[in-house]
Amino acid sequence: MTETQIKDPVHGYVELEQSLLDYIVDTRPFQRLRYVRQLSATNLVYPGANHTRFEHSLGVYHLGRTVFENLRTQTYFTRDTPESDLDEIQRTLECACLLHDVGHPPFSHLGERFIDAEDLRARLADRGLVAAFEAAGIEDPLRSASAHELLGCLIVLREYAGGLRDLGVDPHEVCAYILGYSLVFERGGRWQYGVGAQILHSPIDVDRLDYITRDNQMTGADVLSFDTHRMVDAYTAHPDEGLALSDKALSTVGNYLEGRIALYMWVTQHHKSVYANVLLRALLDELADHADAPPVTAEGVLEEEIDDNTLMERLRVTARDRPDSTLATLYDRFRSRRFPESCWKHRIAYADRVDADLDAFGEWLLEHGDRLERTLAADLDVPRHEVWVEQSYVPEYEPAQLRDIPIAYGGTTRSVGEWGLYGDRAFDSPIPFVFVPHGTEKRATGLLVELFHAERDA
C-alpha cells in the first residue's frame, strides 16, 4: 500500500497510508489545525513555541501506531487473537490518534471555555453516541468530557463518519477512544480493544508523550532528558491490568516524570507565560463584550473554520475601531509585548518576599483575586486592568496521576508510587502570581501581606 512520509522535527519521518491522507489529513477540518497553536500565547515568552495541533496530531498518530505495532510483536499480546481483530484495533487507533484534537478551537484551552458543552452533548445524543455508550454499559462519559473533546466527537460523526466506514472503522468507536473508552471491549470484546483506547487516553498515553516531548523541543526549554524511543519500546500490556510499561523503562520513566514537572514549572507556569496567556484570555473576554456574542462557538469552528488567525484579526479590527477601549489598550500591550512586573518570579522569591503561610496565602489570593485586584489598583492609583492576580491557565499535573504510571514486572503490574520509586518526594505545585506596574512590586506585596494577616486575624 502506498505510503507518504512527512518529516517531523521531533520524531523524524511519519509514514501515512494514502487512504489516511485522503480521508483524514488532507481535509479542511484537519488542515484547520495548522492554524491553532499548541501553546496559545506562550510564543511571546519562548519564540519557538509556534508548533500547532496539526503536527502534534501527526506525532500522536506516529507514536500510537509504533506502540501498537510493537505490542503486536509480543506473543503474550497476540496469543489466540485473530489478525483481523488486531488490524481493526490498529486502524481505529490510528484514526483516533489523528482526530483526537480536531475539535480544538482557536487558542486551544483559552477558546474552549466559550463553547456550549450542553449543546454539544445534545447534538452528540442526536447522532447516536450517547445510545452507543449506554448499549455498552458506560454511564454518561460525555458529562466529564471537555468541550474540545465533545466538539471533536461531533466533527468525527459529522465530517468523517463516511470516510471512517470506508476505512473499516466504526465512527462511534473512534469517539470512544477520544474519550478514553472502547465500546467493543465494554461490550465483552477482547481485552486488546481496551488497550487500544488506553494507548490514546491513559496515564501513559501517547498524547502526553508527544506534547511533552514536542513542547520541550520546540520551546527550546531543554528541561526534559529522556529516551523517547526506549519508552516507546517498553510498552506492554496485561489482560487484567491493561497498558503498562515494562521494568526496563524504570530509568526512562524517572526522567519522564521529572521532566514533565520541570516543563510545567518552567514553561507553562513561567511567570511571563502565565501573564501572556491571561492577557490573551482577557482580550477574548473584551472581544465578547464588544460583539455581544462569544468569540468562539461550535458553529464558528464547524461552519467558519475559525482559528487563531481569525480571532487575532477580529481583535486587530476591534482595537482599531475602538481606540479608547480597554481592548485597544490590552491589544497594544499584547502586540508590543509590554508586560507588567511580577511581584515574584518563582517559588524561591515567593517564599522570600511573602511573610506568611505560603499555602494559605496562595489560596487567599486566588479566592479573593477580583477584590484584591480592585484594592491594589485603587491603592496604586492605576486602572483595574493594570493589576492581575493569576495562576497558570492549564491544570497542574496531579502528583497522584504521575505516581499511578503502571510498571509491569514478574507477571504483575504496580504503579511507580507502589514501587517506591520516589519515596516521599514532594511534587512541585504551581504558585499564584501578582502582576503590577513597574516599580510598584514591593508596595503591592507589602499591602497584600498586610491585608492577609489582618483578615486572617480578624
Q: What does the pLDDT read at residue 72?
A: 97
With H, G, I as helix, E, B as strand and everything else as coil, classify residue 420. coil
Distance of CA 272 to the CA centre of its chain: 19
User: How does pLDDT run along the chain (458 residues), one tens digit per residue?
Assistant: 689 999 999 999 999 999 999 999 999 999 999 999 999 999 999 999 999 999 999 999 999 999 999 999 999 999 999 999 999 999 999 999 999 999 999 998 899 999 999 999 999 999 999 999 999 999 989 999 999 999 999 999 999 999 999 999 999 999 999 999 999 999 999 999 999 999 999 988 999 999 999 999 999 998 888 889 999 999 999 898 899 999 887 878 878 877 887 888 889 889 999 999 999 999 999 999 999 889 999 999 999 999 999 999 999 999 999 999 999 999 999 999 999 999 999 888 999 999 889 989 999 999 999 999 999 999 999 999 999 999 876 655 544 455 578 888 777 787 776 666 555 544 457 789 999 999 999 999 999 999 999 999 87
Instruction: Please calculate the CA angle 76-202-123 and round it to the nearest 5 degrees.
Output: 120
Residue 52: beta bridge partners? Answer: 37
Residue 7: beta bridge partners? Answer: 13
The domains found in the chain, sorted by start residue, are 3-268 (1.10.3210.10)
**CB of 76 within 8 A of CB of 260?**
no
pTM above 0.85, yes or no: yes
- For 197-219, what is the HEC assignment? HHHHCCCCCHHHHHHHHHHHHHH
With H, G, I as helix, E, B as strand and everything else as coil, classify residue 236. strand
Q: What does the pLDDT read at residue 426?
A: 47
